[in-house]
Structure formats: C-alpha cells, structure tokens
Structure 1
C-alpha cells in the first residue's frame, strides 16, 4: 500500500509539472510589425512583435510551450475550427465565436484589457489623399489584402475595394498610382506611428478609420481540456508591456534588438 501511495504521489506530481504544448497558426505573409518573413519558416531572429510577445509569455507561464506553424490565414481559421491547431491571433467577430474562444470579463463580454494588441489602422496613400478625404472626394479606391477583418469597418459607399493577395501587393498598387490608397498601421495604443511599408513615400491620414484589438484566440477543444492554462495565458498577457514590443519593431525596423523589460 505504501508503494502504491508513493507511486500516486509521483504520478500526480508529474502531471502538475507536465508541459502543455500549444500549436499556434499564423499567416505565412510578411506583415510587419506583427509577423516578419514569408513562407512556412518561423524566423528565430526578428520573427515579429506578436511572436516575440508569445515567446515572452512562455517564460511567464511555466510548463507552456508554443509550437508555431505558418499557413495562409484562411487555412489557419479552417484548421482551428476543426481543432487541428490550438490557437490563432485574431480580432473578435461574432461569427468567429462558434469556433474561437476569446478572453471574457465577468459580464461575459470580450475583455479588451486582455488583448495582445490595440492598434489603429489609417488610410495610407501618396500626397493628396488626405486632402481628398477632407474634401470628401469619394469614392476612394483602396487595395486591401483579402480576409482582413478591417474590411468590415469600411463604409462601402465611400470606398471601392480591390482585394489583393498580400499587404505588399496592396502598397505596390498605391505606389504605381493604380489605386488611391491602402490601409496601414498608424497608431500603437495611444501613440501615432508610421508602421507600414514604404512610409518614406506614403503617409497616413488621421484619425484612424479603425481601432482593432487582437486576441490570443483558442480552439474549443483546447479550452475544454486546459481551462486553467487558458485563463492564465490571458491574464499574463494583460500584464505585459505589449505596446513596447510593437513600438520597438516600428521604430527599429532594420537594426532590431529584442526589448529588455
């Protein structure tokens, strides 16, 4: 009996220290400052602010390890819906609630204080776009990567949207004068930035047309199996200096050093 009791103690102890592996799927496109690099490879150096935040989260939540995989965004959503992956980073939309779990407050609403990002998106274009907006010279033609949640924030009577395969494709259309503008990161929390490609040639139009919150969104199966881990991850994210990661990437796009906090 003593041997059995001893073995039970060892078994329970090993369970309490078991590592929880989380497969997180993110887009295979270069989308600074969130994700850097293209294709299936996850860069070890300068992977993007969002990936660095999640790697930092591993040091705060013991016995949790992220396994990052890169795929087209719609495939990531399809696979988490089928519980083939455990997590994505996504904005909240009501239709996603059927297959994604977001952090909630006591009232059952999505808790914005536990978001992994709070970023503003502006119209971005060449000189003169701001004047067109001020003079209400609509409709304005916009190039926007397909599948992006910000599309839902656009008033379609004001914009003629051309969907592209990537963010870079969208900016190339602007630079060639084929469309009036694109959408780019212009605000990190309360600070105005020019966090988009070709910011030396293009300029944002303030105020942002959309303020979006990104969340560590978990699969239904993962939340059922590891509810305590899920809550701990969300709570720890709420206490991290997330804006500093994004600002560091925006302000140091080439000679990037991981911030020391």
Structure 2
C-alpha cells in the first residue's frame, strides 16, 4: 500500500512539474544588428548569437520552469505578432503608441528604466570628408540632408523634428552601405551602451564618423504580449526583476571588442 501511494505521489508530482513548465516564445529580427543580434535568417546561431540574446538566455536559465524559443522574422511582423498574441515577447524601446502592442515594466504607471535590458545611445554618422555638424539640437553644414534608416525603427520619431529626408532601408547594414557609397548624407548607429560606458568603436567602415552627442539615449525593454502577461503575471515580474539586477555591460563590451569582431570575419 505504501509503495502504491509512493507511485501515485511521484506520478502526481511529475504531472505538476509538466503543468508548470512554461515556454516563452520570443520574436526578434531576422537581420543582423550587431551587437544585439548576430546571424541572418530564421535560425538563432548556437554560439555568439548577439549580446541581447545572450543576456536573455542567461536570465531565463535562472528560472527552472521556464524555457525559451526564438522566432526570427522581419521586425514589423514581430511587432504585429506581439499585438495579436502570436508571440509572447519582444525587446523594444518605449513609445506611447507601442502600449497597444504589449506590456512594459512600470512603477506607479510610469515606465521603469531600472528594469531595462539595455541602455544605448544612437548617433548620427557621416563620411569623414563631409562638414556636417551636430550640436545636440540641430544639424548644420548642409541643407536638408538625406538620412538612411531601417524601416520600423523608433528613432524615426526624433528625426521628424529635423529638416531631413528619410530613406528607409531593410537593415542598419544597408543604411551604412548607402552612406559609404555616397547615396545618402547620414545614417544612424549605436555609439554608447550606457551613460557611464566609454564611446564605442567607430563603424566597420573607416571613413564613417560618429557625431556626438547622441541623437537619443534609449532603453530596450522586454515587452510581453497582453495574453502572456495576464496568464503569467508573476513570471513576467520575476523576469523583469532579474533583468534589472543583471549586469549586461560585460557581455555588450565583449561583443563590441574589435578583437572579437576580427575573429568573426
């Protein structure tokens, strides 16, 4: 009888474990966006997947009942699938209009930047032979410059306040290539990973120069679909708390190290 009760206990415990296992379906772009995402296409690289992906993998590994599945597709589709609860989470900067898509970490109904997964400055870049300048408020040295920018990226909002002609591209790499080929006057690039971190190395194209100060400093947040958040409220809070406590700078710094980039070539 005791043996039978023991078997029933083990069986019920195993059912409980299965019932409490949760898979997080995370969507991110199928284009390479160093240092955040490396590799192209639908597959996540088994090694060196990118700083953001590595941080997320390490955070999720701290929660035994949680597993992580990646889906890579165009960024606009990730946004749309989050809105329609086809994926559970994305990482995105905050915009008021994006609150219709998913749930951000908040305190007292205000966005909580202490639980961001990344903090980054985005800068204009120009060719070294041009004389365009940026003082943090306005551009000078050229009238109505043309800038290349990946479609769907939130920095477009800041650019609308400046006299710029925007050319939308399919990726950040394409935008920089257009700048190098003198088909546009400016592009945007990551230029710092936190307010306390040093400025990042220049673009892979030696003749492209960062223009400081950053156009904008933004935070990247783990954003949950409304359906996932409502069904897994406590788990979502736990993930945000662990992200807030995680020191991401060493991982980002490693990916941005010139020696690392040389090994990837």
TM-score, length-normalised on structure 2? 0.87
For residues 98-137 of structure 1, the aligned pairs below 5 Å read: 98-105=100-107, 107-129=108-130, 131-133=132-134, 136-137=140-141
Contact 2:26 2:88 in 1 (8 A): yes
Give the distance between the partners of 1:247 and 1:29, measured in 2 at CA. Answer: 21
- Worse-matched range after superposition: 196-205 or 225-234: 196-205
Give the distance between the partners of 2:52 and 2:44, measured in 1 at CA. Answer: 12
What does residue 70 of structure 2 align with?
68
What does residue 78 of structure 1 align with?
80
Unpaired segments ≥5 residues, structure 1: 257-261
For these two proteins, the number of residue pairs brought into alignment is: 254
Contact 2:90 2:224 in 1 (8 A): yes
- The match for 1:178 among 179, 183, 187 is 183
Q: CA deviation at 1:9?
A: 9.3
For residues 179-198 of structure 1, the aligned pairs below 5 Å read: 179-190=184-195, 191-194=197-200, 197-198=203-204
Q: Deviation per CA, 1:52-71: give whole Å up to 9, x if none.
A: 00110122222211100100
For residues 1-261 of structure 1, the aligned pairs below 5 Å read: 11=12, 14-15=15-16, 18-105=20-107, 107-129=108-130, 131-133=132-134, 136-137=140-141, 138-190=143-195, 191-194=197-200, 197-251=203-257, 252-255=260-263
Contact 1:119 1:187 in 2 (8 A): yes
Q: CA deviation at 1:10?
A: 6.4
**Cα root mean square deviation, aligned:** 2.4
TM-score, length-normalised on structure 1? 0.88
Q: CA deviation at 1:202?
A: 1.2
Unpaired segments ≥5 residues, structure 2: none
Contact 2:134 2:212 in 1 (8 A): no
